[in-house]
Structure 1
Amino acid sequence: MKLTQIQLLQEKQPLIHNITNQVVMNFTANGLYAIGASPVMAHAKEEVEEMAQIADAVVLNIGTLTQDQVDAMILAGKSANKAGVPVVLDPVGVGATTFRTSSALRILDEVDVTIIRGNAGEVANLAGMEVKVKGVDVTGDLQNENLATLAAKKFNTNIAITGEVDVVTNGLSRYRITNGHPLLTKVTGTGCLLSAVIGAFLAVEKDVLTAATTAISYYGVAAEEAAQQSNLPGSFQINFLDQLNHLNMEAFERKSRISMGTFGSEHF
């Protein structure tokens, strides 16, 4: 299934509509091109509804949000819902400010979000747990598996918590992914790009958990391969984009580390 999804993505070249932050737009566009998708960065309220209707996935990222941008996200999200287009929410830095948190919660209240992708701190703050956030990063340790199911049930949606160990769940079934490399944390926008990549996989795979886990594992293996070529963030970023584009499928199948389980069981 993993190989089929990647082939479908490269053949279909789905249009991914991103309303994202100013810091990562170029990197996100290049990363989507690398995996075979077609990015569009349309933020204006005057056009987001039309763009969302023709897109294959919509990604909402609140990294450098303004009130106008939040309004545009809700217009785009509602339009995507009407057209049956999947919506990804990346709640960057939720918990850092009241405006940021209330904006993310407003989006969740007004838009039917297909999946939320964030780090443990962001998801915890969305779910109403008190977590210390420094800038847009989280401090401290969290029980990601318990947190993921709490958030999935609270918001009645799918959750992807990414970090050293990634967890994807709908509140009933869950996946754990252990691919990736620490250098991903040294390049700005790698989490934001991952949210967009999940959107691209959702464009060719209807099963949300399958799409998200495959996207996250593929992304992580590409990082592992890139890190073998460079241990410095600048050259790693370039090698990482290259690996996203032409990752050897045999290497991906061999190195993909995904385990599955259901809540209520002691082990995956």
Structure 2
Amino acid sequence: NSELIFFATPHGVTAPWVYKAIKAGKKAIDLSADFRLPQADFEYWYKQKHEYPELIDKAVYGLVELHRKEIVGKNLIATPGCNSTTAILGLAPLAFNDLLGEDIIVNVAAAVSGAGRGLGLGKHYAEANENMRPYSVTGNHRHTAEVELSLARIMAMGHELKTVNLQKRPIVSLNPHLIPMTRGIMATSYTKAKTDNLNDEILLEHFQDFYKNDPMVLVQEDLPNTKAVYASDRSIISVRYDKRSKQIVTFAVSDNLAKGAAGQAVQNFNIMNEFNETEGLFLEGIWP
């Protein structure tokens, strides 16, 4: 008798179940990667054939801050990845204000839980504790495609996006690092400014204006830290301008299990059904 089903299942496994749910007249919120990308992108990045490509065009990319109006009343929502959510939120105001340079670099520090529950040597306590290591670097992390496509959509459409495929996309170098922490993500992004007429105050104003109607994003002057979003469904963002190198540097933090996964799924559920967006969600993290 359910009306909607949340799918927290692995990519590749999820699509057949979503197909059955949609065919049975249910709504679906998918936390896997099966419906986040156009078919060609999915098959390139995930190295497998998509079994139900006809559903891809019916899915809405569930980054609420950019797709809020599109999500309302839809039947299939593809919840973004944790790394891509944090990176996109940190870069979106720059794309909107035409401030992205030719080179876009994103360094992600991600907690061990972000790598999933599957067994692997790198996630053993003795391997992960007091250790930091890069993984899936130099164009090999799957969330790169989500970041590039979202930035392209912002540059083409502005703030209110549609889940459409665009061939012309900026190139993003996304390099994640596994850190000995249970949960949390920090995405530090760099791009060279197109103009000299920038400072911290101007950039902060751009970011505050962009997210002024988004309760699950906090823009602040102080640099964020992952502890502030531990068990919170909100992301925190700040931005700086390096006058010497002319680099714009953004800092975004999220809880990979909350705003990067379950919390964002609930946020999508609220928007789909026109409930209060923050219903059932937590703005504040657990401290200390």
TM above 0.5, yes or no, is: no
TM-score for the superposition, normalised by structure 2: 0.33
TM-score for the superposition, normalised by structure 1: 0.35
Q: Which has the higher contact order (CA 8 A, sep 6+)?
A: 2
